[in-house]
A and B are shown apart, each in its own frame.
Chain A
Amino acid sequence: MNRSLRPLLATTLIFLFAYMLAVSQQPAMLSTRVLGNFLTDNAFLGIAAVGMTFVILSGGIDLSVGAVIGFTTVLVAVLIMWLQLHPLIAFAIALIVATGFGAVMGAAIHYLKVPSFIVTLAGMFLARGGASVLSPDSIGIEHPFFSAVQKSYILLPGGGRFTVVGMIMLAVFACAIILAHRTRFGSNVYALGGSETSAALMGVPVARTTISIYALSSFLAGLAGVVFSLYTSAGYSLNALGVELDAIAAVVIGGTLLTGGYGFVAGTFIGVMLQGLVQTYIVFDGTLSSWWTKIVVGVLLFMFILLQRLVFKAAPRRT
Chain B
Amino acid sequence: MTRPTVDLRPIQPPLPRPRPLAHFFTRPQVIALVAVLLVNWALFPGFFTITWQDGRFFGSLIDVLNRGAPVAILAIGMTMVIATKGVDLSVGAVMAISGATAATLVTNGIPAPVAVLAALGTGILCGFWNGILVTVLEIQPIIATLVLMVAGRGLAQLITEGYIVTFSDPLLIFIGTGSFLGLPMPVIIAVVLMIAATLIVRRTALGLLIEAVGVNRSAARFAGLKANALLLIVYTFAGFCAAISGLIVAGDIRGADANNAGLWLELDAILAVVIGGTSLMGGRFSIPMAVLGALIIQSMNTGILISGFSPEFNLVVKSAVIIVILVLQSPISARLFRRLPGAQK
Contact = CB atoms under 8 A, between A and B. Distances in A.
The interface residues of chain B, by DSSP majority, are classed as helix
Contacts of B138: 309
Interface residues of B, number: 52
B192 to A, nearest CB: 30
B319 A301 contact: no
A126 B312 CA distance: 10
Q: Which 10 A-B pairs have the closest CB atoms?
A: A298-B151, A129-B315, A294-B154, A132-B312, A129-B316, A125-B319, A295-B154, A112-B330, A126-B319, A291-B157
A129 B319 contact: yes
Contact of A115 (B147, B157, B280): B280
Contacts of A298: 147-148, 150-152, 154
Given A295-B154, A302-B147, A122 B322 contact: yes
A182 interface: no
Nearest to B160: A291
Interface in A124-165: 124-126, 128-130, 132-133, 136
A115 B318 CA distance: 18
Contacts of B4: 195-197
Interface of B: 1-6, 87, 133, 137-140, 142-144, 146-155, 157-158, 162, 258, 267, 270-271, 274, 280, 310, 312-320, 322-323, 326-327, 329-332
Contacts of A259: 2, 140
Given A289-B162, A295-B154, A132 B2 contact: no
Given A129-B314, A197-B6, A114 B280 contact: yes
Contacts, number: 142
A315 interface: no
A113 interface: yes
A45 to B, nearest CB: 14
Contacts of A306: 137
A235 B267 CA distance: 25
Nearest to A252: B143
A60 B140 CA distance: 12
A82 interface: no
A72 interface: no
A136 B149 contact: no
Contact of A126 (B148, B154, B315): B315
A121 B267 contact: yes
A136 to B, nearest CB: 6
Contacts of A299: 151
A136 B280 contact: no
Interface string A103-120: 000001001111111110
